[in-house]
Structure 1
Amino acid sequence: MMKEKLNRTLSGKVTSNKTDKTVTVLVDRRVKHSLYGKIISRSKKYHAHDESNTSQIGDVVLIEECRPISKTKSWRIVKVLSQTVLS
């Protein structure tokens, strides 16, 4: 029997969707400083694969780790958690 590998999932906000089938997702996390104990905000940007080009800037999306699709892209969008309202 093959064991299915559990992929890491992260949620973040789409900051760019200018490239074809790719979005840039900003993931914020809050960590405790090792010495002083203060809660600090850390952020990192990930390039995620968006096959249908549906994500817009400001959407909150769930991304999961996958095989490398390109040099910088090894995450894919699983679903859009909340969409921005365009006015």
Structure 2
Amino acid sequence: MALHFELVTPARLERSEEVYMVVVPGTEGEFGVLEHHAPFMTTIRDGALRIYKTDGATPEEIRIEGGFAEVSSKGLTVLAEHVVA
């Protein structure tokens, strides 16, 4: 099982890959998204996306600043204002 994950900024598509889970810094608190998550859209705050490639893996962290997250039947799309290198 895999979740399709995309990280997009106004400048470009930063990531497009299949992962196990992503933890997103939402404005109402962090939330995790697995495959088949219920659809919704929310704003995100500055913080770190934690990307788990497989179950039990050490997460990769990507710092982002602001934006939106959308969970749909196609997967998770994070529309970040900025990705901190």
The reply to whether TM is greater than 0.5 is: no
Q: Which structure: greater strand fraction?
A: 2
State TM-score, norm by structure 1.
Answer: 0.32
CA radius of gyration, larger in: 1
